[in-house]
Structure 1
């Protein structure tokens, strides 16, 4: 390949590749790759984790893997409910995995994760039936910046007549101003 062709390919790649490798996150990841290539696996992992930390802090709060469950006892450890239909007064249990949250301090040398959730119940016709703030809260103290966190929310929607409903949630990160909306549908059997 001629030098002009090589330069043209490199220019095309530089123009077509968005700033994916630019900035602090990309720099740290590149350093991790160099350390790995030199045989320093532990150093590479530390540098890669610092890239992950920078990425985590830059990303918005989001809620993944929202499931209606029968039980939930840990991250990825849940029994998904067969349907979204409930008897009047039956407890609704949600499992979710928040990402992008911040870390505070508990004053004892631990990082503190603190999240809360608000709910708005909407009828099938689109009418807002009510909103409640902080229907659930999770607070976790840890020596490290945990990324695998699950949030189990037990809901009681007593008083809803039979019908289909949409539950709109807003998660709040109490260590930042980040929020994340998410939604799930339920039905109260007649």
Structure 2
């Protein structure tokens, strides 16, 4: 009878997030093992390489981030959905600083093209649900949903809020940032009116 696993995938990814916070992007599998209090063999039993561990950490962090963003995009009032989606960016980075830091590890396009073979497809499609939800919000927010208005919506609800929050990642994200990202989002998206 096989012995039950001592560490789950999530335990290992939690350890990778802690190792990343302590050692930065050069964290090693030995650092991850130390963070979980286990041997490196436990990690290599579940993951093929260091690159796969940190790619999976990125995917998990993005997935957790997307859950709240999907909820914000789905709010009935499209103007409130714009503000809520921007606020979600700063609130998530404040509430889950390890995941926020982990989201800095990769660019989606690079991981999809050059990441470990086992994660490329998931990385390539990680934004599919978010893109669909944003397109739905676009249709609700603008009577004539042009490509330019889609760019404004993407900039206002995803790119600009993340750009505002990013300098704070790794430290405290001040509460006032929530209002700043919401105001920025409304202003940017409002350019399409």
| Bigger fraction of residues in strand | 1
Structure number with larger C-alpha Rg: 1
Structure with larger RCO (C-alpha < 8 A, sep 6+)? 2
With normalisation by structure 2, the TM-score equals 0.24
With normalisation by structure 1, the TM-score equals 0.24
| Bigger fraction of residues in helix | 2
